[in-house]
Structure 1
Amino acid sequence: MRKILLAAGFAASLPAQAAFEWTAYGGDGRGQRHAPLAQITPANVGRLELAWTFRTGELGEGFARAKDALTFEATPLMVGGTLFFDTATGKAFALDAATGQLRWQFDAKVPRDFDYSEMASRGVSWWRDAQADAAAACAERILFATIDARLIALDARTGAACADFGTKGEVVLSKGVRQSQWRLGQYEVTSPPAIAGDVAVVGSAIGDNAGTDLELGVVRAFDLRSGRELWHWDPIPRTARMPADAANPEFGELDAQQARWTGAANAWAPLAVDAQRGLVFVPTGSPSPDFFGGVRPGDTQWANSVVALRAATGEFVWGRQLVHHDLWDYDVASQPMLVDLVRDGRTIPALVQLHKTGQVFVLDRETGEPVFPIEERPVPQDVVEGEIPSPTQPFSTLPPLVSHAPVKPEDAWGLTFWDRNACRERIAALKSEGIYTPPSLAGTIERPGYAGGSNWGGGAWDPARHLLVANVMELPFVVALVPRAEFVPQYESGRYEGWEFASQRGTPYGMRRTLLKSPLGAPCIAPPWGKLVAVDLAKGTIAWSKPLGTSRDRAPWPFWDIQGAPNIGGPLTTAGGLTFVGATTDNYLRAFDTATGAEVWTMRLPAGAQATPMSYEAGGRQYVVVAAGGHAKFGTTRGDYVLAFALARER
C-alpha cells in the first residue's frame, strides 16, 4: 500500500496561476534553463536571503547502495503556485511555492535491496489533460519514473495515483528490454519523461560495462491518459527488416553482428521537445561495453548521437552521431537545448548540444545539418588486439570548453613538491596522445575524463545576449584494459585501491579506471579543475571563462583556496542578468553576472548542491530554488534540503 500524505485543506484546487511557471525539467520542453524574471539583478543580488527550507527526510535509510550511490539531483517544477519534485528513493512531493509547506507526498515503495548502479532522479513532469474537466481527478498529472524502472502518474492536486493510467497508476518499464535477474537494479530511469502533447517519452539508465549483451536502450512513448505504449525506437537496429532501417540504409554484416550482441546506447539524459514541429530530440549514450568495441565493429549508429523522432509516431527524422565507435564512455549526456539563433541576419531554429568531450555542437533542428561546421579529423589508432577504432572523429569548429591536449610529465601538479614528483612518474608511465587516445593495457590517460567535459547538467541559455553558459570539468582519468586471465588476480591483489573494476563480460578484456591523482588525492594536473564558461553563439567565440568553486570541503586546510572545483549539476540564467549555479564540491550556491562572468554572490549551504537551480515568481517575489542533498560518488556533504532564496523584504 502506497502512502499518501495530504496537507490540511488542500484537496479542492491548486492556487491561481503565477506570472511565470517552470513547467518542465529545463523550464519548458526546450531545455533552455532560463527564467524570464528580472526582480533579482547584479545590483541587488547581495540582498538575497534564505526564504524557506524544506527537508525531505530521505537520506537513503535501508537502501543497500545509499552510501556509495545516493544523490539528490532534482530540479523542481512550479505550476499553479505549487512546487513538484521527487527523490531517488521514490518519493514525490508537492510544496507551497511561497512558503515551502508540504501539500502532499507520495511513496512509490522502491525496493531497497537492489544493487542500483545509480541512485539518482532529476525531477518530475507535469501534464494538463485538455479533454478533461478542470475539476476532474487527474486532470493535471505529475509523471515520474523510478530507479526500479516504473512510470507513475499522480493527481497533481492530491498526490493520489491515477487509476486509469497503466495498472493502478503505474507502468512497468523493465519488460521487453532483455533484463536478467542478475541485473536487477541496473536498468533504471533517472531523468523525467519528456511531455509532447498527450505523449510521455521515456529513456533509461543502464549500468555500464558489465558485458556486451546488456539491456536494450529503447526509447518508448506512452499515452498520458491510459499508459498504453504507443511506439518504441531502438538506437541499435536489431534486424534488417525493422522500421528503423530508414535511418540505416546500409545495414550490413557488421551491423547484424552488433545487433546480436550489443546493448545500451540508451538515452539516460533528459530529452527535449519542439512542440511546434512535433519533434522529440533524443541524446543517446555509448553501446555496451564502453571501453572495448571489438565485438561491436562499426560506428554503432545511432549510439552517441542526437536523434530527432516524430513525437506522435516514433518515426526517425534525422540523426547526427557525435562519437564514432565509442571507446571512452563519451555519452551524449545532457539535454539538447532548443534555441532561436540569429546569425547573418536570419533566425535559425537551432539545437545546441554540449558533450562530455567539452565540445559544443550546434545543429539545425529541422534538418540536423551543422550551423557551425563539424569536421572529421584523424585520431590516434594504437589499439589493443581485436579492436578496430574509427579512423576519424567529429570535431565542432566552435572552440572546445576544455583542453584536448595530451597530458605530459611536465604538466604534473601537486599540493607539495613530493606530490608533484609522484604525479610526474605516474604520467610518464601512461599513454597519452590527446583526446580519443584508445584504452591500452598499460593504462591510458583519458582527457577529458568520462565524467566530462560537460555532464548531465548541460548549460543554460541567455536569449537576450545569445550566450550559452555551461559548467565544465577538467579532470583526467586513467583507463586500463585487463586481459581476461588477469582480471580476477588484479582485482584481488589489493594493489588497486580506489580503482573501479568492470568485467566487460563477452570480450577478451576487463577494465579498471580511476582519477589521475596524486598520493594526497589531488588531481595530477594544475587547476582549475572546474570552470563556468560563456559561449557567444552569435559570434562563435568564448565570451568569458571563470574558475568555478574552490577546494574547500574536499582539501585539508590550508589548501581551501584552490580555484576551480570539480562539479556535477547545471546552471540557471535569468532575465535579470544573473547565472546561478551550485554543482561544485564545495557547499555553495553562487551567482555570476552573465554579461561579464563576475562572481557577485555566494551562499553557504548545509550540503552539496549537485543539482540544477530553477526560478519562479510567487506572491510578487522572485525565488531561486535548489536541491542540496550531496552526491555519494562525488563525496560531497549529504543532506535532504530544498532551499528557496528571495530578496530580503524591505523593513
Structure 2
Amino acid sequence: MAIAITASFAYQAKGQSEWPAYGRDAGGTRYSPLKQINESNVSKLKPAWTFNTGELETYKGTELISKSAFETTPLMIDETLYFTTPTCRVFAVNASTGKQVWMYDPQVNLRADYSEVTSRGVSAWPAAKGNAPTKPEIIFVPTIDGRLIALHPETGKPLIQFGVNGTVDLKAGLGRDLSVTSPPAVIGNLVVIGSSLGDNQQMKMTRGAVRAYDVHSGQLKWTWDPIPRDSLDPAWNTWQGPNAHESGAANAWSVISADPDRNLVFVPCSAPSPDYYGGERHGQNLYGNSLVALHASTGKVAWYFQVVHHDLWDYDIAAQPILAEIIKDGKKTPVVIVGTKMGHVFILHRETGKPVFPVEERPVPGSTVAGESAWPTQPFPVLPAPLGLQKVGVENAWGLNEAEWIAATERIKQFTSGGIFTPPSYGGTIITPGNVGGIHWGGMSYDPGRGLLVTNINHLAAIIRMIPRDSLEMVERQNKDLIRAETGRQAGTPYVMKRDYLFKVDTGGMKIQTAPPWGTLLAIDMKTGEKKWEVPLGFMLDPRKYPDAEKWGSLNLGGAITTAGNLTFVAASLDGHLRAFSTSTGKLLWQYMLPATAQATPMTYSIKGKQYVVIAAGGHGKLRTRMGDALMAFSVD
C-alpha cells in the first residue's frame, strides 16, 4: 500500500510540474501549484539557459521585422517545451537544457501582407485533465497564412492522416485574408479554432466562423458563425438593415477556453466589421462582442453574454476567458471570468451565463454621425468596479514640463470627450479606454488558493475620427497630422476612419499626454469583488533622466502568471524586464533585464526537482522595441 500511495503522489507531482496548455489548463487560469521558487528565494533567480531561434535572420530581404512580435507561451509536456516563432516555425527543446530536439518550418510566405505577424503558441492532444500528467500524441500548429497543421510530438513531422498530408486549409470556404494567431482549444477528440482578420478595412469582411475538426482525420465536424445567417436564429433580429447580415468578423481571435466536464467551449467574440461604424448593421448585434458558450459536441449555443452592444469602439474580447471556482454566498460557484478592453470584468455563472456579481445597464452618449444609431445603454459591472482609464478631460493633461503640459491640454480640448462609450465623431472623439485596453490579449491569471484575480492593464486613450469618404483628401490637406494617423478604409460605408492616440514621440521617447500611471498590475479579491492592490508596471522613460519614471508604469502587451509560491511573474512592459511580484501585496520582489523586450506571457514548470520560469524575449516591431529571438529560462540554484 505504501508503494502504491508513493507512486500515486509521484504521478500527480509530475502532472503538477507541467504546463500542458497555453493558459496551463484548458480554462486559462495561468496558475501553477509549484512553489520551489517563492517569496523567500526569488531574489536568487538567475538565467539557467537561453535558446535562440534565429528568427530575425529569416526576415532578411523582407519588412517583417516592422510588424513581427514574439508573443509565444511554450507548452511543457513530458520534459519537452513546444513553442512557435512569429512566422509559425515550431520548436521542440529539452526542458532541462534548452537544447533543440526538432524544428518544423511550415514555409509561411514571408513576403505576403499580414495584418499581424505573430503566433502565441501551439496546442496538444490529448488535453490534460487536472494535474494528471500527459504524453502528447499530436501538436497542433495554427499559422498566420490560415492553416492548421498536426505534428508528431517526437519528430516534428506532419501527421499525414490529418487533413491533406497533415494540414487543414482554414481559408477554404471563408476568405483569403483569414489568419490565426492564437492556439486552438482541444476538447475530447475535437480541435476548435477561431481566426484573426484585418480590422477596419471593409464592411463585408470574411466571416468570423468558429470551427471544430476531428483531431485524427481533420474532418470538419461543425461551424458556428457569430453573425447569424439563419432567420430562425434568436439573434437574427438584432441585426437590422439590408446589409446587416452580410457583415463580417465578430471573430474569435483570442484563446478559446474549454470545459470538458460540461461539454462546453467558451468563445470570446470580437467586434463586427467595421469596428467604428455600425450604420450598415443597426441593432444590438448579437453575438458580436459576446462571450458565447457552445456545446462542444455540436457547436450549438448554450448561452451568451454580450459585453458591448453595437460596438463602435473596437472593444473585442481580447483576453482568454478564465474558468474557475470562487466562493460566493458561502459556497463554491463555477464561474467564467471575462476581462475586457473597457476595463470591465464580468463574473458569470459557468452553466447559465448569469452574472454572479451585479451588472447594470446604464445610459451612454448617442452618436452625432449621420447614418449611425448607437445603442442607448451598455452593461457596467458594479463589482468588480471598472478598471483603468474611463474618461479623459483637460484635468488629465500631462507633460514633463510646462510646454508639454500646455500642448497636451490644447490637444485634449480639440476633441469630444464624454467618457467611456462616447461614439466616434467627425471632429474626433477621445475613446477611453482605447483599443489596446484596459485588459488586452495578455489576459488574466487566477490564484485559487488566495482567491485573487491578477491582471495587467493599459491606460491609453485613442482618438477616432469619422471622415466622409469624398472629403478625405481635403481634410488631410487641412490637417497634416491626419496623414500620419492610422487609416481604416471601411469600404462599403460612407466614412473613412482615422485612429491616433494621446501620445507624442520625440527624441526623448514615447510621451503619453495623460497623467500616469500608463500601465499597472493589480489584484481583485474574488470573494468580494473589491480591488486589493494596484501598482505601476515597468517604465517607458529613462529613470536616470526622470527619477520618477518607475512610478509611471508602461504600456504593456503580454500577461501575468501566478504560482503557489505567492508569486506573480510578468514581463510585457516596454523597458524589457521580467519581474516577480508578491501576489498577496503587489510588492516588487525581483526583476531582470532581458536581451529584448518580452511582449509575451511567461510560464513555469519543474523537471528533475528544479523549477524553471520561461519567457519569450523577442520584442515587438509595431511598438519599435528592442528586437531579438531568445527563449530564456530562469531557476534558483
Specify the TM-score bucket, using the shorter chain as the normaliser.
Answer: over 0.9
Work out whether residues 469 and 496 of structure 2, in 8 Å CA contact, stay in contact via their aligned partners in 1: yes
Distance in 2 of aligned mates of 1:213 and 1:68 = 28
The partner residue of 1:364 within 336, 349, 354 is: 349
Distance in 1 of aligned mates of 2:399 and 2:465 = 23
Q: Label 1:468 to 1:309 Cα distance change in 2 as closer, same or farther (>3 A).
A: same
Paired residue secondary structure (1:204): coil
TM-superposed CA distance for 1:406, in Å, is: 3.0
- Map 1:531-546 → 2, pairs under 5 A: 531-546=520-535
Counterpart residue number, 2:333 = 348
The partner residue of 2:564 within 550, 575, 592 is: 575
Work out whether residues 422 and 519 of structure 1, in 8 Å CA contact, stay in contact via their aligned partners in 2: no
Paired residue secondary structure (1:276): helix
Counterpart residue number, 2:29 = 32
TM-superposed CA distance for 1:421, in Å, is: 0.3
Paired residue secondary structure (2:71): coil
Distance in 2 of aligned mates of 1:373 and 1:65 = 48
Counterpart residue number, 2:310 = 325
Deviations 1:328-374 (A, max 9, x none): 00001110000011111111110001000011100001000000111
Distance in 1 of aligned mates of 2:160 and 2:624 = 40
Runs of 4+ residues deviating >6 angstroms:
553-559
Counterpart residue number, 1:235 = 226
Q: Label 1:273 to 1:555 Cα distance change in 2 as closer, same or farther (>3 A).
A: farther
Distance in 2 of aligned mates of 1:537 and 1:109 = 45
Q: Label 1:508 to 1:273 Cα distance change in 2 as closer, same or farther (>3 A).
A: same
Determine if the alignment matches structure 1 residue 309 to structure 2 residue 298. no
The partner residue of 1:505 within 458, 479, 491 is: 491
TM-superposed CA distance for 1:196, in Å, is: 0.4
Distance in 1 of aligned mates of 2:480 and 2:299 = 49
Distance in 2 of aligned mates of 1:95 and 1:470 = 29
Work out whether residues 210 and 502 of structure 1, in 8 Å CA contact, stay in contact via their aligned partners in 2: yes
Distance in 2 of aligned mates of 1:621 and 1:252 = 54
In structure 1, what residue type is equivalent to 2:250? A
TM-superposed CA distance for 1:484, in Å, is: 0.5
TM-superposed CA distance for 1:65, in Å, is: 4.5
Determine if the alignment matches structure 1 residue 188 to structure 2 residue 179. yes
Distance in 2 of aligned mates of 1:335 and 1:545 = 21
Work out whether residues 202 and 491 of structure 2, in 8 Å CA contact, stay in contact via their aligned partners in 1: yes
Deviations 1:228-276 (A, max 9, x none): 11000000011315xxx1x43x63771764112x000000000000111
Distance in 1 of aligned mates of 2:628 and 2:37 = 27
Paired residue secondary structure (2:211): strand
Distance in 2 of aligned mates of 1:643 and 1:37 = 19
Counterpart residue number, 1:55 = 52
Distance in 2 of aligned mates of 1:328 and 1:230 = 34
Paired residue secondary structure (2:456): strand
Counterpart residue number, 1:149 = 146
Q: Label 1:253 to 1:328 Cα distance change in 2 as closer, same or farther (>3 A).
A: closer
TM-superposed CA distance for 1:554, in Å, is: 10
Work out whether residues 239 and 282 of structure 2, in 8 Å CA contact, stay in contact via their aligned partners in 1: no
TM-superposed CA distance for 1:68, in Å, is: 2.6
Normalising by structure 1, we get a TM-score of: 0.91
Deviations 1:534-578 (A, max 9, x none): 000101100000011012469976785452111000000000000
Work out whether residues 18 and 76 of structure 2, in 8 Å CA contact, stay in contact via their aligned partners in 1: yes
TM-superposed CA distance for 1:489, in Å, is: 4.4
TM-superposed CA distance for 1:415, in Å, is: 1.6
The partner residue of 2:589 within 596, 600, 603 is: 600
Determine if the alignment matches structure 1 residue 217 to structure 2 residue 208. yes
Distance in 2 of aligned mates of 1:290 and 1:307 = 19
Distance in 2 of aligned mates of 1:324 and 1:530 = 27
The partner residue of 2:613 within 620, 624, 633 is: 624
TM-superposed CA distance for 1:139, in Å, is: 6.9
Counterpart residue number, 2:324 = 339
Work out whether residues 129 and 140 of structure 1, in 8 Å CA contact, stay in contact via their aligned partners in 2: no
- Map 1:549-588 → 2, pairs under 5 A: 549-552=538-541, 560-588=549-577
Counterpart residue number, 1:13 = none
Work out whether residues 401 and 472 of structure 1, in 8 Å CA contact, stay in contact via their aligned partners in 2: no
Determine if the alignment matches structure 1 residue 206 to structure 2 residue 193. no
Larger mean CA deviation between 609-618 and 406-415 belongs to 406-415
In structure 2, what residue type is equivalent to 1:307? V
Distance in 2 of aligned mates of 1:253 and 1:599 = 48
Distance in 2 of aligned mates of 1:413 and 1:607 = 29
Work out whether residues 359 and 398 of structure 1, in 8 Å CA contact, stay in contact via their aligned partners in 2: no
Deviations 1:434-458 (A, max 9, x none): 0001001111101110110011111
Distance in 1 of aligned mates of 2:317 and 2:40 = 37
Distance in 2 of aligned mates of 1:525 and 1:28 = 38
Q: Label 1:421 to 1:519 Cα distance change in 2 as closer, same or farther (>3 A).
A: farther
Determine if the alignment matches structure 1 residue 70 to structure 2 residue 68. yes
Q: Label 1:404 to 1:461 Cα distance change in 2 as closer, same or farther (>3 A).
A: same
Counterpart residue number, 1:419 = 404
TM-superposed CA distance for 1:403, in Å, is: 4.0
Determine if the alignment matches structure 1 residue 476 to structure 2 residue 461. yes
Determine if the alignment matches structure 1 residue 611 to structure 2 residue 600. yes
Distance in 2 of aligned mates of 1:514 and 1:58 = 31
- Map 1:105-116 → 2, pairs under 5 A: 105-116=103-114
Q: Label 1:634 to 1:440 Cα distance change in 2 as closer, same or farther (>3 A).
A: same
In structure 1, what residue type is equivalent to 2:99? Q
- Map 1:37-48 → 2, pairs under 5 A: 37-48=34-45
Q: Label 1:99 to 1:638 Cα distance change in 2 as closer, same or farther (>3 A).
A: same
Distance in 2 of aligned mates of 1:478 and 1:414 = 18
Q: Label 1:561 to 1:367 Cα distance change in 2 as closer, same or farther (>3 A).
A: closer
Determine if the alignment matches structure 1 residue 278 to structure 2 residue 278. no
Distance in 2 of aligned mates of 1:587 and 1:640 = 13
Counterpart residue number, 1:254 = 240
Larger mean CA deviation between 250-259 and 115-124 belongs to 250-259
Distance in 2 of aligned mates of 1:485 and 1:129 = 53
In structure 2, what residue type is equivalent to 1:93? F
Structure 2: runs of 5+ lacking an equivalent:
1-12, 129-134
Q: What percentage of residue pairs aligned between the two structures are identical?
A: 46
C-alpha RMSD of the superposition: 2.0
Q: Label 1:139 to 1:527 Cα distance change in 2 as closer, same or farther (>3 A).
A: closer
Q: Label 1:532 to 1:252 Cα distance change in 2 as closer, same or farther (>3 A).
A: closer
Counterpart residue number, 1:100 = 98
Q: Label 1:252 to 1:543 Cα distance change in 2 as closer, same or farther (>3 A).
A: closer
Paired residue secondary structure (2:562): strand
- Map 1:285-296 → 2, pairs under 5 A: 285-296=270-281
Distance in 1 of aligned mates of 2:578 and 2:475 = 41
TM-superposed CA distance for 1:90, in Å, is: 2.1
Counterpart residue number, 1:173 = 170
Distance in 2 of aligned mates of 1:613 and 1:477 = 28
Q: Work out the number of aligned pairs and report it.
A: 614
Q: Label 1:126 to 1:207 Cα distance change in 2 as closer, same or farther (>3 A).
A: same
TM-superposed CA distance for 1:580, in Å, is: 0.2
Work out whether residues 401 and 453 of structure 1, in 8 Å CA contact, stay in contact via their aligned partners in 2: no
In structure 2, what residue type is equivalent to 1:193? P
Distance in 2 of aligned mates of 1:546 and 1:436 = 26
Counterpart residue number, 1:390 = 375
Paired residue secondary structure (1:361): strand
The partner residue of 2:631 within 633, 636, 642 is: 642
Distance in 1 of aligned mates of 2:154 and 2:504 = 53
Work out whether residues 53 and 629 of structure 2, in 8 Å CA contact, stay in contact via their aligned partners in 1: yes
Distance in 2 of aligned mates of 1:445 and 1:19 = 46
In structure 2, what residue type is equivalent to 1:163? I
Deviations 1:13-35 (A, max 9, x none): xxx96652111110010100001
TM-superposed CA distance for 1:488, in Å, is: 4.0
Q: Label 1:491 to 1:81 Cα distance change in 2 as closer, same or farther (>3 A).
A: farther
In structure 1, what residue type is equivalent to 2:119? S
Paired residue secondary structure (1:254): coil
Work out whether residues 402 and 474 of structure 1, in 8 Å CA contact, stay in contact via their aligned partners in 2: no
Q: Label 1:554 to 1:642 Cα distance change in 2 as closer, same or farther (>3 A).
A: farther
Q: Label 1:253 to 1:53 Cα distance change in 2 as closer, same or farther (>3 A).
A: closer
TM-superposed CA distance for 1:498, in Å, is: 3.9
